A and B are shown apart, each in its own frame.
Chain A
Amino acid sequence: EVQLVESGGGLVKPGGSLRLSCAASGFSFANAWMSWARQAPGKGLEWVGRLTSKSNGGTTDYTTPVKGRFTISKDDPKNTLWLQMNSLQIEDTAVYYCFAGEWDSGAYKEFWGQGALVTVSS
């Protein structure tokens, strides 16, 4: 069974930092492209950033509002993905989802975590 479990969410003051973790199991974590998306309260979805698999260069890309402030990394042996968030702003308040994409026998599969709430408020 595939599982993605986020942790580390909570309340943080503007300008503060927070690190989200995503524990993965049940699929080939090392070969998957891992991503974070977020959803502000009552709003739509925003793709925050992605990390390609090592075989695809292990590169990262970020959406413009978080570039230079957020960093995605992972530890393949530990099957763990992280999102380091620095210089947090009120508009970063959202549920953050980790998700994985992989190709299996010619079909694309995607797995999502349940989300972690990050609240930025003074």
Chain B
Amino acid sequence: EIVMTQSPATLSVSPGERGTLSCRASQSVSSNLAWYQQKPGQAPRLLIYGASTRAAGIPARFSGSGSGTEFILTISSLQSEDFAVYYCQQYNIWPYTFGQGTKLE
């Protein structure tokens, strides 16, 4: 199965700063990559699919890039509500797999 590796495990940033999260796949997943946000006690929320397409209702400060094995999620100016855990997930080959998560604090 494809292993998704996220870095860093924890990212310490201040509101208003830019946050950059990385995700690497153990083999190419083309652009079949999604990003999710999860807050404590809540279900995950889809942010990005197709590596760079924002899901409905997602603010423009969230952007995704990359293809193949290297992907980036950028949050241009962090708001207080953005502090959460972020997961990347590949849906190129079954079983679809998630990264271990990056906690934004």
Residues of A within 8 A of B56 (CB): 107, 109
- The answer, yes or no, to whether B44 is at the interface (CB within 8 Å) is yes
Contact present for B95 and A45 (CB under 8 Å):
no
Majority secondary structure of chain A interface residues (helix, strand, loop or mixed) = strand
Q: When A61-B95, A64-B1, A108-B49 are in contact, do A44 and B43 touch as well, CB less than 8 Å? A: no
Chain A: interface size category: 20 to 34
B26 to A: closest C-beta gap in Å: 16
Q: Is A63 an interface residue (CB 8 A)?
A: yes
Q: For residues 34 through 67 of chain A, which have their beta carbon under 8 Å from a beta carbon of chain B? A: 37, 44-47, 50, 61-64
Does B62 count as interface, using CB distance less than 8 angstroms?
no
Stretch with Cβ within 8 A of A (4 or more), from B12-20, B67-75, B76-84, B96-104: B96-104
User: Considering the complex, which residues of chain B in the window 6-61 have a beta carbon less than 8 Å from any beta carbon of chain A?
Assistant: 36, 38, 42-46, 49-50, 53, 55-56
Given contacts A110-B46, A112-B43, A47 and B100 within 8 Å (CB-CB): no
> Within 8 Å CB of A14, what residues of B?
none
Contact of A45 among B1, B49, B55, B89 (CB under 8 A): B89
**Chain A: residues with CB nearer than 8 A to chain B?**
37, 44-47, 50, 61-64, 97, 99, 107-110, 112-115
Q: Which 3 A-B pairs have the closest CB atoms?
A: A112-B43, A110-B46, A45-B98
